[in-house]
Amino acid sequence: MVKHVKLSVIVPFYNVCQFAPDTLRSLRANARDDFEFLLVDDCSTDATPDILDRAVQDFPGDARVLRHAENGGLATARNTGLDAARGEYLTFLDGDDWVAPGYFADLVAATEALDCDFVRTDHVQCTGRKRTVHRLPHGLRGVPIDPRAVILPADRTTSVDYPYAWAGMYHRRLLDRGLLHFTDGLRTAEDRPWIWRLHREAESFAAVGMLGVFYRRGVASSLTQIRDVRQLDFIRAFDQVLEETARDAESAALLPKAVRTYCAMIAHHLESLGAYEPALAKKLRAMCHAAIRRMPQDVLDDVLDSMDLRRSSVLRGIRRRSPAAAVRGGAAA
């Protein structure tokens, strides 16, 4: 008889041998007979595979290593875990982060008590020795509500601006409905279409005031620190948000939020052009110009009028350029 798996924890690893032992120790401190831990090695080239193999040999519970023959990125690695998961509930962790002892059991209990499609949690951001609490931007705690109801307002930080997949727990019915998989191959911003889809299409969610996830920032190998071609995937990610939101029955209400968030991300990248190699900076400018031209222009006009002068000036500048000029602009801000 196959035992019932209460929780599947999906943890992608890629070249994190420096941090994987801490992550694995935290998983061991969360083991339970009805939990499974799916450790996805995304074709690591350092000592990570050996660390994972040793860890599962004496893991106090069900832990498996799932291997990629080639590196696919975080979205693809999470999908590999989702395809293998047997749990009634599912959650995620990244291979360089960690969780407090007993955290997953507490979160399962809270999720079951609330009886909703998914719950979202706060987290602790760790930069060196500095610890900062980051709160889900939804003040009502412990009360199930319609996830769609907290997408807006457009000009405020809302739950779709807090996309971290590991900051929450998700009922299996969402997986069965096709709402938990990520867009395969996205190298960055993979959680943006994902969180928008959850909030548009799931039926219920709740915020819980739990602190148990520790998110490591400032890691040299992290995509938040690297300015290479993978960063440009944010455009494909936000194009998907716009395309899917435009098909929604309430698109007129939701599109201003989607466009504003996309514009804020474009402005952020344009203001960081100096960190890119010149050829990549040129490509980024051209892609940002094309992305702005693809947006619904009436909605974009309203968004630019409502944004602060610094960002709106950057966006209006790239919008006015011809595609050729956008490419010629190089790394100038």
For the segment 137-176, what is each residue's pLDDT rounded down to a tens digit? 999 999 999 999 999 999 999 999 999 999 999 999 999 9
* Cα–chain center distance at 150: 18
Domains observed in the chain:
7-217 (3.90.550.10), 229-328 (no CATH)
More confident of the two residues 222 and 130:
130
**Predicted structure pTM score:** 0.92
Partners of 15 in beta bridges: none
For residue 180, the number of C-alpha atoms closer than 13 Å in the C-beta half-sphere is 28
pLDDT digits (tens, 9 = 90+) for 51-63: 999 999 999 999 9
Confidence of residue 332 (pLDDT cuts 50, 70, 90): very low
How many beta carbons lie within 10 A of that of residue 107, not counting itself?
23
**What is the spatial order of strands in the sheet that 89-92 belongs to?**
62-67, 35-41, 7-13, 89-92, 168-171, 118-121, 205-208
142 and 206 Cβ atoms separated by less than 8 Å:
yes
Residue 235 reports pLDDT greater than 90: yes
Residues 44, 233, 17: CA angle, nearest 5 degrees: 20
